Amino acid sequence: MKKIDLHCHTTASDGLLQPEELLDLAVANDLTYCAITDHDTIDGLDAAIQYSKQLDGLNFIPGIEFSVDYPHGSFHLVGLGIDHTNEQMTETIINLKEKRETRVVRIVKDLENHDINISLDEVYSEAKGAALGRPHVARVLLKNGYGNILSDIFENFMVKGKPGFIKKEKISLEKAIELIILSRGIPIIAHPISLNFQNWHDFENILQDCIKLGLQGIEVYAHMHTDEEVNVFKKIANKYNLLISGGSDFHGDKKETIGYYGENKIIPFDIINQFI
């Protein structure tokens, strides 16, 4: 059965597979459309575009996932089909990369202040030049015996009130949407449940503001969503004439399967027709 996946990560950010390896996996799992949407970086896209040319039947979609400044929850904005060579896009990304680097230095320092000693070098070699993030620090903490599984680490470190918590400086929603549109991509709210809204009415209000700024779609099919939430997000997307997206948010170190948004839940193939 043909499958699609519009949200995947690689070693360019915090995924475990190289772009080429991710695309091989996509082909092996019968995907005909696959997007790479790394956190705040486009570094994997050149390699993926090149490599996808030699893959029969796989359409590669260059994308990005911005962490957007938002007071109440975690706002991730995916851009699909971007021209990643756009100059404003590349400039912004260089700036965000620098901010991520400074943050990780501060995270390691704060851990040290709490007698948790991991070396920055170890984090760098874990990241191998990728856009640095908490997952790289988390993997080093795991390797050094500070937890048994990754989720333990994210419970005990680098979150509010715990050692190593340093807030991330993020791009504004306005700027992120504008950049994606400038680079001819489609701006989509990723896993909208992570916005932590109070109720559906509250979500619709947030959504209306986003639409005014140029938002074009929402990721309805996401592993963070219950079946019930998937249904409501779908209804709301239709109500506001928004595109419906779906992705596994594949990183390679959790339970995700490419082409699925949960156990036995295939990302509906038909949604690709809205994009092509």
Residues found near ligand AMP in the complex (CB under 6 A): 14, 39, 67, 133-135, 150-151, 154, 168, 251
User: Which residues in the 62-81 window bind Fe ion by CB under 5 A?
Assistant: 76
Radius of gyration of the chain, Cα coordinates, nearest whole angstrom: 18
Task: Kindly tell me which residue out of 11, 249, 257, 271 binds Zn ion, with binding defined by CB under 5 A.
Answer: 249
Q: Cα–Cα distance between 42 and 156 in angstroms, integer?
A: 30
**Interaction partner, residue 150 (Zn ion, ligand AMP, Fe ion, none; CB < 5-8 Å by kind):** ligand AMP
DSSP 103-118: HHHHHHHHHHHTT---
End-to-end CA distance of the chain: 19
Q: Measured at CB, which residue is nearest to ligand AMP?
A: 133
Q: How many residues bind Fe ion (CB under 5 A)?
A: 3
- The CB-of-13 to Zn ion minimum distance in angstroms stands at 8
- The CB-of-172 to Zn ion minimum distance in angstroms stands at 19
Nearest to 76 by CA among 208, 187, 199: 187
Tokens describing residue 100: 């991520």
- The CB-of-98 to ligand AMP minimum distance in angstroms stands at 14
- The CB-of-83 to ligand AMP minimum distance in angstroms stands at 24
Give kind and range of the element (H or E) at residue 91.
Answer: helix 87-113
**Interaction partner, residue 168 (ligand AMP, Fe ion, Zn ion, none; CB < 5-8 Å by kind):** ligand AMP
Q: Cα–Cα distance between 94 and 50 in angstroms, integer?
A: 22
Residues interacting with Fe ion, by CB under 5 A?
A: 14, 76, 190
